[in-house]
Amino acid sequence: MAYFLFRRTLGFVLTLLAVSLVVFAVMNVLPGDPALTILGMDASEDAIAALREQLGLNEPLVTRYVSWVWNALQGDFGLSHSFRVPVSELIAERLPMTISLAVAGMLVTLVLALGLGITAAAQHGRAGDWGVMFLSQLGIAVPAFWLSILLVMLFAVKLRWLPPGGFAGWDDPAAALRSLILPTVALALVQSAVLARVTRSSALEVMRQDFVRTARASGLSRRRVLWRHVLPNALVPIVTIVGMQFAALVTGTIVIENVFYLPGLGRLIFQSIANRDLPTVQALVMLFAAIVVTANFVVDLLYVVIDPRLKARA
């Protein structure tokens, strides 16, 4: 067990390092002068030279990479050009929005997908099953940003129940929650389409096994067998997909925040691209990639908790 944890943790750290190398390489080694990118073609040579000095671009690449990683580990991502404040401050300011959106999206996804998936499996081959399968097939093909636009047209423009976008801050919690409803639903509906399918097929596998028949034969109700015996045993493939989906959700927030004009990290990344704010883009891309890698690492660890047999093998 200790060896398993050690190997997985080592792999996780190495992957993070490799990811940081890729991000740094793409943003710094590729042809082009970052100072020129930031200032534009018509900048004076003095200004470019000064910015090169400020960004530390005259240092060797290896030194720059090491100091970037070292500072980042201590929470220092450098200075944002467009906002004139430390990037870490910008991140701290906007992280709550992105995290709330991702976590709320994940919760709604889980409730919808597990419910629909188990229902479909219980109704295997009948109308309920076909309905869920059809909806999920459709859900996979619908882009989240189009679904968002449709939701806004229905609930904000036509019915006027919810705001079409924007965010007034957390001071008024009720208003804040109202602005998050449509983005959360748009994120979750698409994700739960995938997860409902996996839940269904995984539950169907388990339902074929002898202990399920035994549980039914011993007089337990269908509902109890489904939720207490089938679902827990169907969890391993579901958790795998949930891990991948959390990563998809987090990057999905980038899209959704831009559709609904929400002040999170995803919106910040696009403002930074428009402002040619390379240090901010670099920090945010690294942060998002790190979240993806971390989600996969957590899933690896969860396997062992869910399926003790894997512990023995590990």
Task: Give the interface with another protein as residue ranges (CB under 8 A).
Answer: 15, 18-19, 22-23, 26-27, 30, 32, 37, 137-138, 140-146, 149-150, 152-153, 157, 164, 201, 205, 247-248, 251, 254-255, 258-259, 269-270, 272-273, 276, 278, 281-282, 285, 288-289, 292-293, 296
Collect contacts of 209-217 with beta carbons under 8 A, ≥24 apart: 209/233
- Closest CB 137 distance from another protein, rounded Å: 7
Q: Is 191 exposed, middle or buried (0-12, 13-18, 19+ CB in 10 A)?
A: buried
Q: Which is nearer to another protein, 83 or 220 (CB)?
A: 83
Q: Which is nearer to another protein, 61 or 138 (CB)?
A: 138
- Closest CB 196 distance from another protein, rounded Å: 13
Q: Which is nearer to another protein, 220 or 237 (CB)?
A: 237
- Closest CB 285 distance from another protein, rounded Å: 5
Q: Which is nearer to another protein, 191 or 282 (CB)?
A: 282
First to last CA, the chain: 6
Q: Which is nearer to another protein, 88 or 258 (CB)?
A: 258
How far is residue 290 from each of residues 9, 13, 19, 67, measured CA to CA in Å? 14, 10, 8, 18
Which position has the token pair 């509902």? 223
Q: Is 73 left (phi over 0), alpha (psi -120 to 50) or beta?
A: alpha
Backbone φ and ψ of 75, nearest 5°: 85, 15
Q: Which of 49, 27, 50, 7 is nearest to 289 (CA)?
A: 27
- Closest CB 211 distance from another protein, rounded Å: 19
- Closest CB 140 distance from another protein, rounded Å: 6
DSSP 222: H
Q: Which is nearer to another protein, 126 or 228 (CB)?
A: 126
Q: Which is nearer to another protein, 142 or 162 (CB)?
A: 142
Q: Which is nearer to another protein, 145 or 220 (CB)?
A: 145
Distance in angstroms (rounded) separating the CA atoms of residues 296 and 281:
23
Q: How far from chain centre, in Å, is Cα 282?
A: 18
- Closest CB 133 distance from another protein, rounded Å: 10
Residue 106: CA count within 13 A, CB half-sphere: 19
Task: Rounding to the nearest 10 degrees, give the CA dihedral for residues 126, 128, 134, 139.
Answer: -160
**Per the structure block, which two tokens stand in for 178?**
């109202």
Residue 91 · residue 283 · CB < 8 Å = yes
- Closest CB 223 distance from another protein, rounded Å: 25
Q: How far from chain centre, in Å, is Cα 224?
A: 33
Q: Which is nearer to another protein, 205 or 307 (CB)?
A: 205
Which position has the token pair 């889980």? 110
- Closest CB 149 distance from another protein, rounded Å: 5
- Closest CB 82 distance from another protein, rounded Å: 12
